[in-house]
Structure 1
């Protein structure tokens, strides 16, 4: 660790900003010693002795607060306040912790949906404060604190807090023990380890102290406000499904029903039901085969179309239903809705697929390249009747499995065996590397889309992992049904944000205020519009509604192609030897790249943006544009053609377009990856001819809309996919899942011809 000069004035200024004046004198004294110290005193005896641990943790928290104030810069306010809030609770400064949380919400939670992730910690801190003030027992103080916070929440937010309180006490205990075990036989701890220990300690303290009582209090509140019933349904084919129905007690008349098809059985069932109920609908949540009380085989994605038809048929005939059904949900739950319209029931009047998985399109393979994550997810949803949270969130385990596979050079098909648990679903998926009938039968395919005439609202985001899938359905719907009544809202949202609410900061980037909308409010305004003859949501001014980042404006277009007004071509040129990367080259040349698939220990290489930032370029080549002399709004997704010649029959490409900002930071604008042999047709493999110049078209890249400021540069990184997160294509032409490192042969050689180009969509007023 590099020692930093101590600037007392700056540190005290930070403390003043973050309202820590109460102990600033103590911190100033601590700073003097911390500048010289690399570690904090923390006795090894605290590892096994809970009494010593309880005594040492508040003191450690104070030391970490001091170090954090010294380390942090003003632009790190999100992390600063997040850490500070937690540390202050451990330091037993409960009043100040609540003030810090208020400061966080003031700056980064400018609507009532954000900041909810802290509510368990907030209730715990307030309870400890009330315990001191009222000189009462902790259970009494906890009930008072819970009521104080609960009564101040909106109905919409109340539906979410059960998830926030439902932390796994056993998991938090294990994480704490793991953090403590690292300190065994030591008498000091470094800053990073201390901060991690403080966080794991607080999580365990919070959930172990409040969860049982809070869950009882929440159950009582639910009994006061809702009628919640769970029952089993038998489908016409004889399969059992568990369904949860939630109604507001005050709603006596039949209502439209909002259905969610949920493979993530458990805590989310009641949440999804209550979410619909508070908007004055009946909420219905059905679990997929093999979940909850179903003894059927759990085969994700395969039976939605058949099963949901029967569920809707049953719902439409219940006394609390007025015969109209809508569907909502994100990710797998979004996919489920497209499964439902494959065989459309007359009672299904609208769907709101959010960040919908494009099965066979972007998951479990993106543009025909299978991802390692698929095995982790399969285990998550099939290990038991609910979800295996402990296994899924054991990132260290899964990272080590993926790394072990990568290092071994074994086939991708061996990944499940390496994990210690062979998986037939994993193997079944690998048997379908092309977009064949196995995938096509799960959702509408080609002319099936022409039959879908119900209104649809799709939401996704520029940072959404399933954006490609969500937009695939949108594009195919309009391709086969020119009169489709289908709206799209897309903005600077990640996978979670595009199905809940627009965060203030996403991927470290501050989001424009106009983009921070409640997706829940939008969805249920849509349901009001379609199912209750309400007003059309204001944001839906045209079929495509997109937020232009860095302009604080929304734009509206009749289709995706109208998101931009022109395009520019970025050629694979070195601008230092050419007039411009945006000008077609006169002479044809190439950039040569070599990738040795046998080497699994190579060092990473980087493009250095500045002292503040760098971009990984391992297994890639890059091309840098000249400085832009005027603002440029990039709006849409990348297209183009790569003209290449390789010495093998296939390879997987990876393309990344970055903005190099004037402030010396990079911004990832768009990405694209594809298996070259499937680039022209994702259903039919067409191998490359070694040594022959071939064209690889760019389709299904990531959409974005953002103003790129003048003074920026664009950086185009193109290369080969070779890392533990994805299959490795050795280029033999065999099934890639069966190839091993023994198939790698000579290194892959690629000639990237300079008449290759990435077509960038540009919007002009």
Structure 2
């Protein structure tokens, strides 16, 4: 391990040791800067780090290359590289076209020179030329693509150039960052004003866009945006989205529905846009949406049928809407839906630091506070400051600079109590939901647990639930828009690279327009088996696997297999000192080149697998433990160590031990007594594991700045401080504990 770290440090030092001439006058003289940057970019394109990246990650290589070509003013080459990048990044044009702004800029520069015209004239020609080549589905996204935050980009560029003050040279990483930040600022500052005007004109030609304020019966104001295609004269079904993220995306969502030949309606939550009401996220959707659905269903452009769509908070909103089901609501398509109180703001009853960052994002103003939310160094420093201070989790908002009553109110409900239950259907409520539903989520989706909790409850309480699930190798963004080519650095199978938009609106056609059921929906559960380039279709989640294997917490060196229970009961002892806030991260080599993080974890490794197997479903099982405190938070990771030695994260699980049996009722552990902790609500995954692989199981204790810290006193964890740490936590992980791994046999 030390050798690996040493090699990495040598490589980083070599990168920084490599210097390029860059005159200090360029910092203050823009004319010198404009002359020097193309020279610098040309030099960077020939350097080994960039060429090495071509072998390691072609998409990232192309991403850097086209930017350097633009800075060096080789616009023709940059367009060719962008085309190659688009093909590498995605099989369809949704993701691949995210650099249209850069392409239009390069086209304009070529036209400016070719036709000897002003840049403004060239830009209009370039825009018109590119616009004609794009599909309607792509056109609706152009507003977001061209709407770069010029002020933010300018600040980023200024930070990069200011680092060169009083220096006559620049190292490779700094030079690359400078070129990229300069280019982003240059592109958007040069084209945004004119392009946004051109887009607005195009929208006026194609759509009718209206914004209205609705008054609810209790006097609240909600702003709603309605988008219709001009060519559609007859009443149509309405596709409604409830959006807390008020801003340009409202029109985008409306236009998205319109181009699929629906009326798009996007309503903002209380306190957003034109509403002066109090903004309390999640609390009022069920009440407000009933009235919104009633209103849109009765408008002259509506045929009386309403469907809903949206992801994350917007997915949660649909479940809130069906708690009291309006007759006009015929279907919902919740995507990566937040499981309020289940996976957010706490996952399996452990509150996350991110919740405060998100609260401020949606409540700081009437739209969204992008600058604050995306200031990751700021939030990292806040979370680290809290962690280092040893103060209670309740102090996080004060440490951030301002107390927050929403944050505090959420912390007052550590169990899944009535506060959370009243926001969405709960238990028997699901029996009354008899409309067809399509849920989408992904193996890498942060809200997968929430999305599946609704799905499972619906089928549990309604035996006739007409509810379909599509799950594949998608992250939080991919499962609500379109499948990427890579996720978490891993290339996904071509068959998985689908447009979730197309799937969703095919579903709407099926339900709202008596169309054909989408081909992918061959059964209630439709899941993509990674590494097989195939989809499988089964009637229930339980059928995602046909058998299981038990991975016992034991060293297979002492017994032939971790998959066979030892006849001798033993335990592995782990000690975690909650007082230690300067703990260095620890890693364990799993091959000559690769390692996995094992901080606060115990490592168990299987023997080499002698045949292929498909892991499909989620982890279950039990931990039999005894501890010297009343509570702790478990943290579990299952890895595949591939035949080439590279680790691949398959599933994770985190839970507060005292809530593991019942997420609504806390049951403290008895110190010194062997207790059983069930494993529920872990992350689903479906992947073929090749022969020659090993499985690695890490079990341990959650202790990091991203989550609450459970000191084990039995008090409300939000109120505990480092003074409650006392002696280190001592855990005995007994070897009859096992993680049950689901296996799918063809």
- Alignment TM-score, normalising by the size of structure 1: 0.95
> What secondary structure sits across from 1:299 in the alignment?
coil
> What secondary structure sits across from 1:271 in the alignment?
helix
- For 2:32 and 2:718, the matched residues in 1 are separated by 53
Bigger shift: residues 755-764 or 48-57? 48-57
One of 150, 159, 163 as aligned partner of 2:144: 163
> What secondary structure sits across from 1:461 in the alignment?
strand
- For 1:430 and 1:59, the matched residues in 2 are separated by 55
| Superposition CA RMSD, Å | 1.5
Counterpart of 2:327 in structure 1 is 346
- For 1:5 and 1:754, the matched residues in 2 are separated by 41
One of 638, 641, 646 as aligned partner of 2:627: 646
Q: 1:66 to 1:257 in 2, by over 3 A?
A: same
- Pair 1:437-2:421 in alignment: no
Give the drift of 1:612.
3.1
Counterpart of 1:715 in structure 2 is 696
Aligned length in residues = 738
Give the drift of 1:70.
3.7
One of 22, 38, 42 as aligned partner of 2:18: 38
One of 217, 227, 230 as aligned partner of 1:236: 217
1:222-264 deviation per Cα after TM superposition (whole angstroms, max 9, x unaligned): 0000000001000111100000000000000000000000000
> What secondary structure sits across from 1:217 in the alignment?
helix
2:16–2:173 Cα contact (<8 Å) kept: no
Give the drift of 1:667.
0.3
1:116–1:161 Cα contact (<8 Å) kept: no
1:354–1:498 Cα contact (<8 Å) kept: yes
- Pair 1:150-2:131 in alignment: yes
2:620–2:739 Cα contact (<8 Å) kept: yes
One of 378, 383, 390 as aligned partner of 1:409: 390
Counterpart of 2:492 in structure 1 is 511
- Map 1:328-727 onto structure 2 (within 5 A): 328-727=309-708
- Pair 1:63-2:50 in alignment: no
> What secondary structure sits across from 1:361 in the alignment?
coil
Give the drift of 1:93.
0.5
- Pair 1:52-2:32 in alignment: yes
1:138-170 deviation per Cα after TM superposition (whole angstroms, max 9, x unaligned): 111111111111111110111111101111110
1:580–1:625 Cα contact (<8 Å) kept: yes
> What secondary structure sits across from 2:695 in the alignment?
strand
- Pair 1:193-2:174 in alignment: yes
Mind listing any 5+ residue stretches in structure 2 that lack a counterpart? 1-5
> What secondary structure sits across from 1:324 in the alignment?
strand
Q: 1:70 to 1:105 in 2, by over 3 A?
A: closer
Give the drift of 1:71.
3.2
- Pair 1:260-2:280 in alignment: no
Counterpart of 1:11 in structure 2 is none
1:3–1:35 Cα contact (<8 Å) kept: no
One of 731, 735, 738 as aligned partner of 2:719: 738
2:595–2:647 Cα contact (<8 Å) kept: yes
Give the drift of 1:104.
1.4
1:190-212 deviation per Cα after TM superposition (whole angstroms, max 9, x unaligned): 21121111111111001100100
Mind listing any 5+ residue stretches in structure 1 that lack a counterpart? 7-33
- Alignment TM-score, normalising by the size of structure 2: 0.97
- For 1:510 and 1:195, the matched residues in 2 are separated by 25
- For 2:200 and 2:77, the matched residues in 1 are separated by 31
1:289–1:298 Cα contact (<8 Å) kept: yes
Give the drift of 1:43.
2.2
> What secondary structure sits across from 2:457 in the alignment?
helix
Give the drift of 1:581.
0.1
Give the drift of 1:566.
0.2
1:656–1:717 Cα contact (<8 Å) kept: yes
1:4–1:35 Cα contact (<8 Å) kept: no
2:16–2:171 Cα contact (<8 Å) kept: no
- Map 1:318-337 onto structure 2 (within 5 A): 318-337=299-318
2:90–2:497 Cα contact (<8 Å) kept: no
Bigger shift: residues 100-109 or 701-710? 100-109
Bigger shift: residues 308-317 or 120-129? 120-129
Counterpart of 1:180 in structure 2 is 161
Counterpart of 2:205 in structure 1 is 224
> What secondary structure sits across from 2:557 in the alignment?
helix
Counterpart of 2:280 in structure 1 is 299
1:371–1:725 Cα contact (<8 Å) kept: yes
Counterpart of 2:187 in structure 1 is 206
- For 2:8 and 2:623, the matched residues in 1 are separated by 48
2:109–2:122 Cα contact (<8 Å) kept: yes
1:442-500 deviation per Cα after TM superposition (whole angstroms, max 9, x unaligned): 00000000000000000000000000000000000000001000000000000000001
Q: 1:502 to 1:551 in 2, by over 3 A?
A: same
- For 1:463 and 1:455, the matched residues in 2 are separated by 25
- Pair 1:285-2:266 in alignment: yes
Give the drift of 1:128.
1.1
1:264-314 deviation per Cα after TM superposition (whole angstroms, max 9, x unaligned): 001100000000000000000000000000000000000000000000000
- For 2:696 and 2:600, the matched residues in 1 are separated by 16
Give the drift of 1:513.
0.5
Give the drift of 1:58.
1.0
1:711-751 deviation per Cα after TM superposition (whole angstroms, max 9, x unaligned): 00000001000000000000000000010001100000000
1:449–1:477 Cα contact (<8 Å) kept: yes
Counterpart of 2:3 in structure 1 is none
- For 1:722 and 1:117, the matched residues in 2 are separated by 38
2:286–2:424 Cα contact (<8 Å) kept: yes
